[in-house]
Amino acid sequence: MKARLFAVATAVGLLGASVAAQAQIKIGAILSISGPAAAMGVGYKGAFDFFPAEIGGQKVEYIIRDDATDANNAFTIAQKMISEDHVDAFIGPSLTASDAAVAPLANQAHVPMIAMAPYEYDPAKQPYTFSDAQPLPLMVSVVFKYMQQKGVKDIGYIGFSDGWGDQVLAATNINAKADGMTVLTDERYARTDTSVEAQALKLISVHPQAIMMGNSATPAALPVVALRRRGYKGEIYGNHGIVSPAFIKVGGASAEGVVADTSPLVVYDQLPDSNPIKPVAVAFMADYAKKFGAESVNPFAGYSYDAMLLLQNAIPTALKAGQPGTEAFRVALRDALEKTHEMIGVSGIYNMSPTNHNGQDARAAVLVEVKDGVWTAIR
Amino acid sequence: MDLFVFLALLQDGITTGAIYLLLAIGLLIVFAVTRVIFVPQGDLLAFGTLTAAALQSGTVPGTLWLLDGLSALALIASLFAGRRAALRGLVAWGVYPLLVTLAAIFLAPRQSPVAAILLALAIVTPMGPLIWRFAFRPMGDAPVLTLLIVAMALHFVLTGIGLVLFGPEQASAPTITDASFDFGILTVSGQSLAVLGCCAVLVIGLSWFFGTTIYGKVLRASASDRLGARLVGIDAGASGALAFGLAAFIAGLAGILIGAITPLSYDAGFDIGLKGFVAAIMGGLVSFPLAAAGAVLVGVLESLGSFWASAYSEVIVFTLLIPVLVWLSLRGGSTEDRA
């Protein structure tokens, strides 16, 4: 009897020792590296090459998986990461639909996750979900403040006939109301449309002082070209979805003067020295651009990098509460993330609270303008 | 809506309608001869735009390597199919791609718009027969539905290949002319006149081809009675390849024409093809004049719809199908019967 007890005790002891030896922080990253969102996924993934191998004196293992731009895949991957890999935190997913799929799992298993796509949720119901991508109304509000300075009173809206067009319109309506502007018309087109002549004619016929666009990537150049060709003289504003060199390449001379908001990281070298984000962004992007080329500057790498910074900031506090791999550690990590205060990232400055799990403010958006064929920061 | 806006919308609608007309013609030819609903035609359209755009910017397009790869496979396959097939295969899948490849590598750095357009057509056109050779010919007399499912699958394959070869961004094809003309209050761009001109030339050319040449008559014979055509010694494989080649040429041309007006991305072709399909359906998948009328109707309706209710312009276009389908089904007769 005694011998058996001894054997069990030894076994338990050995087991404990082996757990202690394995105690390293495991971070699961779910990214859309292939599929329709691949162009962004490449940016999200690139940042991982510059993550520290050790945080708070603990080894960190980053497990990166591709959901192929499919929320169902993200769900399965998250399940596996929780039950087999026993991850301590999630970075991502990088797709809004995947965020929505993974969030219930993460909250049930008490694994903090930092969503990297604009994702709307209630922190009270999903206490383990955080997000480091700028909420759309925040980004659009910066554009509207600028319009207000310019004395714009009425605007015409043109956007995609999909979810993105709806979201930007909603943000546009909220901000227009707050700033005392009128939205005269709501025109829509599909990403794959071959002509927006009709929509451009309609916009011009209501004589708006300025036009706000709810579109993204190169198809966003379509209405700009059509409006300018039809002789529209007013200002054209866009959102961060259009800020890429490809937009200017397709838009050509018509793109000149288009104003949009973007993540500070995108114009990291043009930020004023007084901006606290500048040194952090320059330090990260210098390495990133050296490895992937000057053309590779993109906001998405910044969201991955900020997720890591947020975790790096919170992990030392959490380590006091428990070993990595335990629930105590994950709960403490969540609590620490929620107390994030004035943390400077490359996409913004974070101040979290129980009701605000994003924590960014207007400093997370800078205005840019197409000048001589390049996106130039407006000071 | 004043007269100017109406005329501008009409002009825009007719230009896009002409593109839908081209695609409807391609769909009709392929369907009549092989009973395949050629869904991937839209992807070939995008290939046309992006190939011309790549050549114009001085790079050798990825579609060239796709052509070379598929041709090599077809060449190997033809070597095992008897001496005559081997000889024909050597010319079609050996010498031709070699010449196109050399021409592309030599001409791409010169960035000439004319060379870019001609080479893009030379690269995209053989994709039709190659698709026929590998996807549809081995299926023999499969039912229309099976052929449609394969066509749908091919569309996804080609879209994926398009993303790999050209990346996610849009690109513009070189313009044929930069001129613009004033007609009273309306300014019409030379490019949209070029679209209409090319469309007219193609329609006249095709009617001559079907009316007088032996190959045109072969296609018509296969279209009117497949079994009968085979009984009198018409090679079903060759007529299928010819039909697919014509459709691919038309798709490539449409891509180059529309791509100069609006930039396209790798996945833009499907929607355009679908609207061409709506026009073809209006012709009951048999009548060219009705399909032409349908194409112009779709274009103008889309343009007017975009002006009045832009969020619903696609809904309006595709709703048009319902009355047409009701009428076709009331008139009776399944397309399957003719096969």
Q: What is the DSSP string of A287-309?
A: HHHHHH-GGG--HHHHHHHHHHH
Q: Are A363 and A256 in contact (CB under 8 A)?
A: no
Instruction: Please state, in angstroms and rounded to a whole number, the distance separating the CA atoms of residues A289 and B240.
Output: 51
Residues of B in Cβ contact (< 8 Å) with A191? 265, 268
Report the pLDDT value the prediction gives residue A20, as an integer from 0 to 100: 44
Rounded to the nearest integer, the mean pLDDT of chain B is: 90
- Looking at residues B254-265, what average pLDDT do you find? 92
Contacts with A, B 126-165, CB within 8 Å: 163
Mean pLDDT of A238-254: 89
Q: What would the mean pLDDT of A262-289 be, rounded to a whole number?
A: 93
Query: Do residues A50 and A305 make contact, with C-beta atoms less than 8 angstroms apart?
Result: yes
Pick from A7-21, A131-145, A241-255: least confident: A7-21
CB atoms within 10 A of CB B103: 16
Give A-chain residues touching B169 at CB under 8 angstroms.
39, 217-218, 246, 249-250
The C-alpha angle with vertex A313 and arms to A312 and A319, in degrees rounded to 5, equals: 75
In the three-class reduction of DSSP (H, G, I as helix; E, B as strand; rest coil), residue B178 is classed as coil
One-letter identity of residue A20:
A
Q: How far apart are CA A194 and CA B173, in angstroms?
A: 13
The identity of residue B10, as a single letter, is: L
Task: Compute CA distances A118 → A115, A134, B13, whole Å.
Answer: 8, 6, 37
Does A192 reach chain B within 8 Å, measured CB to CB? yes
Q: Kindly state the average pLDDT of the residues B235-245.
A: 92
- Any B CB within 8 A of A335 CB: no
Q: What is the pLDDT of residues B114-164, one digit of tens each?
A: 999 999 999 999 999 999 999 999 998 899 999 999 999 999 999 999 989
pLDDT given for residue A18 in this prediction:
44
Residue B84 has pLDDT above 90, yes or no: no
Could you tell me how many helices (H) and strands (E) chain A has, helices first? 12, 15
Helix, strand, coil in percent for chain A, rounding step 5: 50, 20, 30
HSE-up of A53 (CA within 13 Å, CB side)? 0
Buried b (16+ CB within 10 A) or exposed e, B119-146: bbbbbbbbbbbbbbbebbbeeeeeeeee
Tell which wins on pLDDT, B45 or A219: B45
Highest mean pLDDT among A293-297, B45-49, B169-173: B45-49
User: CA nearest B263: which of A42, A255, A295, A164?
Assistant: A255
Identify the band that residue A23 occupies on the pLDDT scale cut at 50, 70 and 90: low
Residues B91-103, mean pLDDT to the nearest whole number? 94
Residues of chain A neighbouring B167 (CB-CB closer than 8 A): 39
The verdict on a CB contact (< 8 Å) between A201 and B307 is: yes
Percent of chain B at pLDDT exceeding 90: 63
Provide the pLDDT confidence category of residue A232 given band limits of 50, 70 and 90.
very high
What distance in Å separates residue A362's CA from the closest CA in chain B?
30
Instruction: Name the more confident of A246 and A75.
Output: A75
Closest Cα partner for B18 from B263, B222, B191? B191
For chain B, list the strands marked E by DSSP.
Answer: 180-183, 186-189
Give the integer Cα–Cα distance in Å for A112 and A334. 6
Q: What is the pLDDT of residues A306-358, one digit of tens each?
A: 999 999 999 999 999 999 999 999 999 999 999 999 999 999 999 999 999 99
Cis peptide before A93 (omega within 30 of 0): yes
B167–A contact, CB cutoff 8 A = yes
What pLDDT does residue A338 have?
95
Q: How do residues A146-163 score in pLDDT, each as one tens digit?
A: 999 999 999 999 999 988
| pLDDT value of position A191 | 83
A54 pLDDT more than 70:
yes
Residue A251 sits at the chain B interface (C-beta within 8 Å): no
Q: What is the pLDDT of residue B4?
A: 86
| The pLDDT value given to residue B25 | 94
Top residue of A192, A225, A227 to mutate, by most chain B CBs within 10 Å, is A192
Q: Does pLDDT of A14 surpass 50?
A: no
**Among candidate residues B285, B215, B237, B41, the one with its CA nearest the CA of residue B141:** B237
* CA dist., res. B13 & res. B18, Å (int): 9
Taking a C-beta distance cutoff of 8 angstroms, is the pair B254, B23 a contact? yes
Locate B198 and state its tokens.
């090319």
Which residues, 6+ apart, have CB-to-CB distance to B165 below 8 Å? B50, B61, B62, B63, B66, B266
In the prediction, which pLDDT does A5 show? 52
Long-range CB contact pairs, B191-198, < 8 A, 24+ = B191/B257, B191/B260, B191/B261, B192/B11, B192/B15, B192/B261, B194/B257, B195/B15, B195/B18, B195/B19, B195/B257, B195/B258, B195/B261, B196/B14, B196/B15, B196/B18, B198/B253, B198/B257
Dihedral of alpha carbons B218, B220, B223, B226, sign: negative
Residues B303, A195: C-beta atoms closer than 8 Å: yes
Contact B169 A246 (CB under 8 A): yes
- The nearest CA of chain B is from the CA of A191 a distance in Å of 8
For the CA atoms of chain A, what is the radius of gyration? Answer: 23
Distances (CA, A) of B94 to B70, B129, B138, B251: 11, 14, 21, 24
Structure tokens at A140: 């659009």
Give me the residues paired with residue A64 across strands. Answer: A29
Annotate A58-83 with DSSP letters as a single string: EEEEEEEEE-TT-HHHHHHHHHHIII
**Spatial separation of the C-alpha atoms in residues A352 and A365, rounded to whole Å:** 17
Q: What percent of chain A has pLDDT over 70?
A: 94
**Euclidean distance between CA atoms B246 and B47, whole angstroms:** 15
**For residues A27-53, average pLDDT:** 90
Q: Is the pLDDT of residue A12 over 70?
A: no
The mean pLDDT of B219-235, rounded to a whole number, is: 88
For position A295, what pLDDT does the model report?
81
With contacts defined as CB-CB under 8 Å, which chain B residues touch A246?
169-170
Q: Mark A245-257 as b/e (b = at least 16 C-beta within 10 Å).
A: ebbbbbbeebbbe
- State how far the Cα of A90 lies from the Cα of A297, in Å rounded to an integer: 24
The three-state secondary structure class of A247 is: helix
Please name the residue that has the structure tokens 């990098």: A305
Residue B263 has pLDDT above 60, yes or no: yes
Residue A290 has pLDDT above 80, yes or no: yes
Is-contact B18 B299, C-beta < 8 A? yes
**Nearest-CA distance A169 → chain B (Å):** 13
- Asked if A206 is an interface residue toward chain B (Cβ–Cβ < 8 A), one would say no
Minimal-distance CA residue of chain A relative to B258: A194
What amino acid occupies position B327? W
Grouping H, G, I as helix, E, B as strand and the rest as coil, residue B180 is strand
The pLDDT, as a whole number, for residue A315 is 96
Lowest mean pLDDT among A334-338, B47-51, B320-324: B320-324
Nearest CA in chain B to A163: B311
Show the beta-strand stretches assigned E in chain A: 25-31, 54-55, 58-66, 89-91, 113-115, 129-131, 154-160, 182-189, 210-214, 235-238, 259-262, 343-344, 349-350, 366-371, 374-377
pLDDT bracket for residue A217 (50, 70, 90): confident
What is the model's pTM? 0.81
- Reported confidence tier of residue A250, pLDDT bands at 50, 70, 90: confident
